[in-house]
A = this chain, B = another copy of it.
Amino acid sequence: MKALSKPREGVTIYEVAKRAGVSIATVSRALRDSELVTPQTRERVRAAAAELNFTPSRLGRSLAEGRHAANGIVFPDLVGPYYAEVVLGYEQVAAELGRSVLIRATHGRADADAQVLEMAARVDGMVIMGRSVADDVVARIAATGLPLVLLSRDPVSDVDTVRPENDTTARELARHLVGHGYRRFAFLGDPAAAPDVAGRYAGLAAGLKEAGVRVPDPVPCAFELEAGRSAAAGLLACRPRPRVIVCANDELALGALTAAGEAGLRVPQDVAVTGWDDLMAARFAGLTTVRQPMRELGATAARRLHEQIEARPAKRTGRQETLPTELVLRTSCGTHTMG
Contact = CB atoms under 8 A, between A and B. Distances in A.
B68 A88 contact: no
Contact of A284 (B84, B143, B284): B284
A92 B118 contact: no
A97 interface: no
A105 B95 contact: yes
Interface residue range, chain A: 35 or more
A277 to B, nearest CB: 12
Contact of A144 (B7, B56, B58, B313): B7
A222 interface: no
A139 interface: yes
A273 B163 CA distance: 39
Interface stretch (A59-67, A167-175, A211-219): A59-67
Given A121-B57, A279-B280, A9 B144 contact: yes
A283 interface: yes
Interface string A243-273: 0000000010010010000000000000000
Contact of A3 (B88, B143, B257, B285): B143
B79 A88 contact: yes
Contact of A281 (B11, B66, B280): B280
Give how many copies assemble into the complex.
2
Contacts of A101: 102-104
Nearest to A82: B84
B100 A122 contact: yes
Contacts of A103: 87, 91, 101-103
A289 to B, nearest CB: 13
A57 B59 CA distance: 11
B95 A104 contact: yes
A3 B95 contact: no
A58 B118 contact: yes
A7 B145 contact: yes
Given A9-B144, A57-B121, A120-B55, A284 B254 contact: yes
Interface of A: 1-3, 7-11, 53, 55-60, 62-63, 66, 68, 70, 78-81, 84-85, 87-88, 91-92, 95, 100-105, 107, 109, 115, 117-122, 136-137, 139-140, 143-145, 225, 251, 254, 257, 279-281, 283-285, 313
